[in-house]
Structure 1
């Protein structure tokens, strides 16, 4: 097995691992809460501290990878991620647990911010779509299979088994890198790191992501205002510093890069909450058990895993604009159909829509990622990979934030009891309509990138 194949295997496993951690831990939260007698706020922070740390540090580590070496940052990230996983298996208290999850998230940022950059550095342009398709299939599979596998692990072996699985996989990946990957890739060697820009990026992303999750409360609005104020400061600074953390000319002068990232942000904002909403629908409205709900929802990730590599290969031969825009349009149709669900909706209809949604995801994501990485010079691979990963994390947070806001408006701060099933169903229908409308905008953004992409 040659080093390129080892790199593909390593990045594919890690692309599954980090998203799997994000989605599987949600299933384990009730068990964790019972063991430690945690409040809902503490449970929320255990779930979100990983995502916050991961998103906040993504750009910084993407730039550091370009300067000091992508393999070096990736390998160090695997150690940090594995250590965070091991520590999280034995937390002495809730605050320490939250800190351990943040450490795990920082490791995740180091991995996710460089994995795609390494693949793009190793494989030539005519093979890039194929390997990125495999990588994306693994990412989506991790996000979607997480609730299913996490539920089984928690039920059979306890919630700590989720973290130990991550420890084992992390050690295997680290050993493979150490033994078989000898090359290094530096796109911006010798360039100065923009530390102040990194701080400003943290001051932008963290308040925005926390603020969205706190809506419609006043502190949520205030945090969002702080985030936007920091964003303006970030833009001002990055346009004036000699070696910026994020070269904003990539957005101002590179239409394909800018609109492909915008389309990705919209796509994740409109789709990440789908499995969350349908899981609640199946359990509260249809009376399914968590395992039954997970087995129903598995139709979507199966389609994504099957079609992402195929769509990636197609993007090496066809216009990424055509493929990605078609995928986004397919997602619009699927979300529109989901907005029609009622208490009487047959399960075969739901599975059929999930199949359509999974194919749409695959059609969009692989070609869109190929377009982003193909639109920049090799010296920008790290920051381009990190930017796209930041769009994913931010979009995921926005998606859940929108769902939380609509639930607050329809249900208030109440548990979902049988008496509240009608307004719950109305809120789910409205959310799918909003997400479909958002993807209509995303389709136009994808088309606007130009025929050359």
Structure 2
């Protein structure tokens, strides 16, 4: 019986690793392909970013719902369903033409991705002992970053030789493989022992608040105040409503009491808000300003995820032995330094080896942050809330990624003051510098939040 459990856990980890790999591979490889996609559709650099933003938006608003589904109906079943949606939509994107259908399909694919991301860490937390959780999460994170490592080079190669839609064919094949491993190799199911009713009204207020921010960032003009107003009203109504509910969609009381959990989620959101658009911005810089091919640009960009892949498992192992919040704080500090350095140094003639070294330093910081922060989140809740915690963490990550893409594309649009397909090199370079400096400032705030949880934990022990 014990050997069977070990075998099932091995298949479980393999399936999750494959799912994590291709989730990250698709996001990063599409960023490399953006100039090519824009050349095909001719919608403009800022507009073509919706190929990524629609996916991230759907994932963000679907994650907490997916977490509830995982706790209620089973984390294995949720993982399987997410892979079905993710793989099937990949196939549809290759055969249905047009920019706007691609955006809609990517939105639906984002909902499938939400189910995968909400269930994967919850499955690991459910199946593996607490003493090994950080290490196993580190393995998952390592393969996530291997996906990011290979995406610039392999994604650039596929895009250059076979076209950008080949990325989705590649994804479909291996998503089907992960689906088969989980379906046939893992029979056990994990779900919460207590059934909580779904808070539909709270969820709708939450979605409205998110959409208000999205509209504000997408418009980036005087109408943005409308989006901010909608979001502010919905947020206030959400807090008031959820505070009075016996079974809220998100427990405001829990977030106030468990500051370690809350600050860990906020740190994740800020971290991804400051780092996700790096490959998008630098892909434009390397290809449009430096005149590099997608493959050559991919080689330079791969230095960051390679370092993430090399050190993530070790960082997860460290978080099993030491305070994971403290390790994650050091990681964010390293990220801040690298972001400021790139923002200050980037120009038309910056030696590419200098950029590669700075990206490698950034990747090391990211490795020190990611798996320890995930361990901190999952260790701060009870077993019945693993799905919720996993989904909330994934929401912070995905909404941070969306904010990162929205801020970067909005800055490019504002500085160039045009929706033309090709922006001038001076405007694009200025947007690149400002983006990295703003990301550096936000990352400093993330360091503060991350370290605050460590201080609050120390006070509670005293």
Q: Normalising by structure 2, report the TM-score.
A: 0.91
Cα gap change, 1:142 to 1:321, in 2 (>3 Å): same
269, 288, 292: which one aligns with 2:292: 288
375, 382, 394: which one aligns with 1:377: 382
Q: Any idea what the Cα deviations from partners look like across 1:271-322, whole Å, max 9, x if unmatched?
A: 1122222222223333322221110111111000000111000100011122
* Structure 1 portions without partners, runs of 5+: none
Q: Any idea what the Cα deviations from partners look like across 1:55-82, whole Å, max 9, x if unmatched?
A: 1111101011111211111111111212
Residue correspondence of structure 1 range 328-347 to structure 2 within 5 A: 328-341=332-345, 342-347=347-352
* Structure 2 portions without partners, runs of 5+: 1-5
Which deviates the most, 154-163 or 117-126? 154-163
CA distance in 2, matches of 1:280, 1:39: 12
The answer to whether 1:138 aligns with 2:143 is yes
CA distance in 2, matches of 1:99, 1:58: 18
CA distance in 2, matches of 1:349, 1:91: 42
Instruction: State the 1:34 CA deviation.
Output: 5.8
Instruction: State the 1:176 CA deviation.
Output: 1.0
Number of aligned pairs? 451
Instruction: State the 1:432 CA deviation.
Output: 1.9
319, 325, 330: which one aligns with 2:329: 325
The answer to whether 1:238 aligns with 2:242 is yes
Q: Normalising by structure 1, report the TM-score.
A: 0.92
- Contact kept in structure 2, 1:144 and 1:275, CA below 8 Å: no
Cα gap change, 1:224 to 1:147, in 2 (>3 Å): farther
CA distance in 2, matches of 1:8, 1:209: 34
Cα gap change, 1:147 to 1:229, in 2 (>3 Å): farther
Q: Which residue of 2 aligns with 1:229?
A: 233
- Contact kept in structure 2, 1:212 and 1:397, CA below 8 Å: no
Q: Which residue of 2 aligns with 1:413?
A: 418
- Contact kept in structure 2, 1:213 and 1:400, CA below 8 Å: no
Residue correspondence of structure 1 range 35-434 to structure 2 within 5 A: 43-143=48-148, 145-215=150-220, 217-341=221-345, 342-413=347-418, 420-434=424-438
Instruction: State the 1:39 CA deviation.
Output: 7.1
Instruction: State the 1:13 CA deviation.
Output: 1.1
SS of 2:95's equivalent in the other structure is coil
CA distance in 2, matches of 1:429, 1:134: 34
- Contact kept in structure 2, 1:209 and 1:394, CA below 8 Å: no
Which deviates the most, 259-268 or 91-100? 91-100
- Contact kept in structure 2, 1:329 and 1:443, CA below 8 Å: yes
CA distance in 2, matches of 1:80, 1:367: 30
Q: Cα RMSD (Å) of the superposition? A: 2.3
Cα gap change, 1:37 to 1:410, in 2 (>3 Å): closer
CA distance in 2, matches of 1:438, 1:279: 22
Cα gap change, 1:318 to 1:349, in 2 (>3 Å): same
